[in-house]
Amino acid sequence: MLNFTYMVSTRIFFGRNSIEHLGEEIKQYGNRILFVSGKGSIRKTGLYETVINIFMKNNLVYYELSGVQPNPRISHVREGVKLCREHDIECIVAVGGGSVIDSAKAIATGYYHDGDPWDLFLLGDSSVKKALPIGTVLTFAGTGSEMNGNAVISNEATEEKLAIHKDILRPRFSILDPTYTFSVPRNQTAAGTVDIFSHILEQYFSPTKDAFVQDRMAESLLKTCIQYGPVVLAEPTEYEARAQLMWTSSIALNGLLGYGRVGDWATHGMEHALSAVYDVTHGVGLAILTPYWMEHVLTAETREKFVEYARNVWQIDGKNELTVAKQGIVKTREFFTSLGMPQTLGDIGVKQNDLEKMAEKTVSHGDVGKFKKLGKNDVLTILKNAF
């Protein structure tokens, strides 16, 4: 196990009606709120009104920034920073999924940065020094943004999608009511489950050999996705299944699985390059790329980890290790397909002559992957195989 500093400071209010904590929590941080939300689904479900009523009842002054899109844009973040400065915002409340929360984080730290907020993404984590407090009301299980300090933002002008990670970006509190995910459409629900699954894999496939408890916990969460992923598609309003996935999503990327070891994250790197160019749903990109990544990095050297994965997660028996390892990959692809995910980049309209550009983008800041280091040629091979 590597040395680590554990800090998971977000207070979670989990369960039906946990929104009742919203007012009292916000007031710990101030009375002047920026209310960030997405493209309107919360108006349809009534959550918008619920939140506004809580603001009013608690005499909070709020300003709105709605319309955050999937693969959230830096241009929108700039608007948010402007609003915060104009109105002396004290706390940002993000109501939505990962895109909304990531935007809130970028705004929260952009507020304290003199230049353009995109600078922080170019300069990287060490440039993030201060942030406004953030609270969230989660409506989507997948990104884990509600309990971590990560934000991923796209720059539509430069076709870049970059991330920052810093503990001060962790929401101070998050309201996790599984009923808010009942109305998430089928394809988005499935993509969210893949996203959770991928976050776990990126930490599980690690170059750090000694991570027994982390590995076993990772397998626990993978099994939860396998158990409940199909249930939420069949029964979108099944509370327990939604609850299990929502909580698993938060734990999967709050640090618990990653502390004490190095993660891989090459697949996320490739997917960010893909969705920067094509505006693909993140989980869909991951569902396509993950099995091809696995096939590419499975070698005699890495086989043991794939065998562990196949045996412990998919209960695959057998003595021939290579066969067992490969069967684990087959099972992974089958699982994603069973959730309705496409299998190739061609299926989602990617053009073959964009693959080179995406490979270049993936390695634009250097090689990717820690479990197995990938240069541009490796990435291009994976993308071609996935086409």
Residues that bind a second copy (CB under 8 A): 1-18, 21, 210, 212-213, 216-217, 219-221, 223-224, 227-228, 240, 243-244, 247-248, 251, 256, 259-260
* Residue number with CB closer to a second copy (11 or 376): 11
* Residue number with CB closer to a second copy (212 or 349): 212
Pairing state of beta strands 160-165 and 150-155? Answer: antiparallel
* Residue number with CB closer to a second copy (121 or 228): 228
Question: How many Cβ atoms are within 10 Å of 56's Cβ, its own excluded?
Answer: 11
Cβ atoms of 246 and 207 within 8 Å: the answer is no
Cβ atoms of 370 and 207 within 8 Å: the answer is yes
* Residue number with CB closer to a second copy (72 or 255): 255
The least distance separating a second copy from the CB of residue 316, rounded to whole angstroms, comes to 15
Distance from C-alpha of 164 to C-alpha of 144, rounded to nearest angstrom: 14
In sequence order, the β-bridge partners of residue 233 are: none
Distance of CA 162 to CAs 73, 99, 122, 152, Å?
11, 13, 8, 6
* Residue number with CB closer to a second copy (14 or 182): 14
* Residue number with CB closer to a second copy (65 or 196): 196
Distance from C-alpha of 298 to C-alpha of 345, rounded to nearest angstrom: 21
The two tokens of residue 243 are 């609850």
Pairing state of beta strands 91-96 and 32-37? Answer: parallel
Residue with tokens 């109105």: 87
The least distance separating a second copy from the CB of residue 325, rounded to whole angstroms, comes to 21
Residue with tokens 């990617």: 350
The least distance separating a second copy from the CB of residue 209, rounded to whole angstroms, comes to 9
The least distance separating a second copy from the CB of residue 89, rounded to whole angstroms, comes to 25
Cβ atoms of 99 and 140 within 8 Å: the answer is no
The least distance separating a second copy from the CB of residue 156, rounded to whole angstroms, comes to 36
In sequence order, the β-bridge partners of residue 374 are: 368
Q: How many Cα atoms occupy the beta-carbon half-sphere of 352 within 13 Å?
A: 3
- Backbone torsions φ then ψ of 175, nearest 5 degrees: -95, 120
The least distance separating a second copy from the CB of residue 308, rounded to whole angstroms, comes to 13
In sequence order, the β-bridge partners of residue 274 are: none
The least distance separating a second copy from the CB of residue 244, rounded to whole angstroms, comes to 5
Q: How many Cα atoms occupy the beta-carbon half-sphere of 184 within 13 Å?
A: 26
- What is the end-to-end Cα distance of the chain in Å, rounded? 38
User: In 117-254, where does DSSP find H-type helix?
Assistant: 118-123, 186-204, 212-234, 239-252
* Residue number with CB closer to a second copy (293 or 309): 309
The least distance separating a second copy from the CB of residue 19, rounded to whole angstroms, comes to 12
* Residue number with CB closer to a second copy (2 or 122): 2
The least distance separating a second copy from the CB of residue 319, rounded to whole angstroms, comes to 17
* Residue number with CB closer to a second copy (8 or 277): 8
